[in-house]
Amino acid sequence: MIKANFTPMIESTTVPPHLLDTFRQTYPHQTPDIVARAPGRVNLLGGHVDVQEGLVLNIAIDREIWLAAAAGTDGHLEVYAADLGESATVALDQLDSHADVTGADLPRWAQYPAGVAWALRRRDLPLPGMAVAFTGNVIMRAGLSSSAAVEEAFAIAWQALSGWTLPPGELAQVGREAEREYMGLGTGIQDQFTALHGRRDHTLLIDCRTLDYQHIALPPQVRVVVCDTNTRRELVGSSYNTRAQDTHATVQIIRQDLPEVKTLRDVSPEQLAAFRPRLTESQFRRSRHMISEIARVRAGGEALAAGDTGTFGGLMNESYRSARDDYGSSSPALDAMWDAASQHPACLGARYSGGGEAGAVVALVEAHAVDNFIAATARRYARATGRDGALFPVDPADGAGVIR
């Protein structure tokens, strides 16, 4: 694996044609200094294990967030979310209030860039005010990490305008702190790290303890298809944090006898079984998912490096069943989409991407059959649920960067 923090950010050259027009209409007396982009991601293996310092295997995808920004001198972050048609203005010296300049609570979407500013300022980094317009084609709240893409696009924009430089691994930590500490979400680091370290045509294997990583080529005979259930949930108000807390509680109980254990990554299946009488059923089952999932990622990385897409797909199916049966993070809609996808003979494997409970299933599909897979799976899902899904292929993309 490559040691953490040694990958330069990759520059892109494509600017969405409407972005600059949106910026000029929103801020008619300003000209953007930079345009930045950051990709979404899908999680092929390693669901939830980043919070226990496990291994994950992702791809950054060719669905992105783009922003245009102009530096300001008034100490304010002005943001226009073009896809929502909403704006917010935040005083950079009043971020702890979680309020805009009028004293109203910040809307949820604006807390992501505000949280990035908060995490950068606690590092004593100078931050100029910014006027920003942003847009994107990463579906929100579908498990494609639109929030991490927003965070990292803002982080690299501030970096470009401010003159300081943080390694990509540290910029990923900034995004994680925005979610965990500023917004109170029990998330890990895989989303932000993938947004910064993605590589075209490659998957990304991340060690979430050391932040070492490895790019593994995605074999050309397969493609990744996002199968969106068109159901949504917020991490806030869902059971996401509760499930993570169960696994943290397991670690604390085990540490009473085995103080060398830091996270569930350090616990074997046999050790977990020995502690079962001291755990609640949910603590045991959710921790069992974590431990088995870390093992699946190890096996999956080896299979993918060897071009064994059949084995890799089988591990994706095992991952879904474990998340559904042990971690308890599926939903009727996700189950219906997974069933529909798995019935197709060209589907090698599938699991959900993201936090679960709603959003998208991601499938590994033989490349020659993608169109047929999409049509057949969409029909099966609609028959089973009475709801239309949104299915589309995605390709591995480069990580975040400054376009101009």
Active-site residue set: 191
Q: Are strands 55-72 and 129-136 parallel, antiparallel or unpaired?
A: antiparallel
Task: Quote the DSSP letter at residue 340.
Answer: H
Q: Which two tokens stand for residue 351?
A: 């699991």
- Asked whether 205 and 21 are in contact (CB, 8 A), the reply is no
Spatial separation of the C-alpha atoms in residues 376 and 364, rounded to whole Å:
15
Chain centroid, CA 11 distance in Å: 20
Using DSSP's 3-state secondary structure scheme, residue 91 falls into strand
Spatial separation of the C-alpha atoms in residues 191 and 143, rounded to whole Å:
10
For residue 96, count other CB atoms closer than 10 A to its CB.
Answer: 8
Angle (nearest 5°) at CA 314 between 312 and 319: 95
What residue type is assigned to position 356 of the chain?
Answer: G
Task: Quote the DSSP letter at residue 105.
Answer: B
Spatial separation of the C-alpha atoms in residues 174 and 5, rounded to whole Å:
13
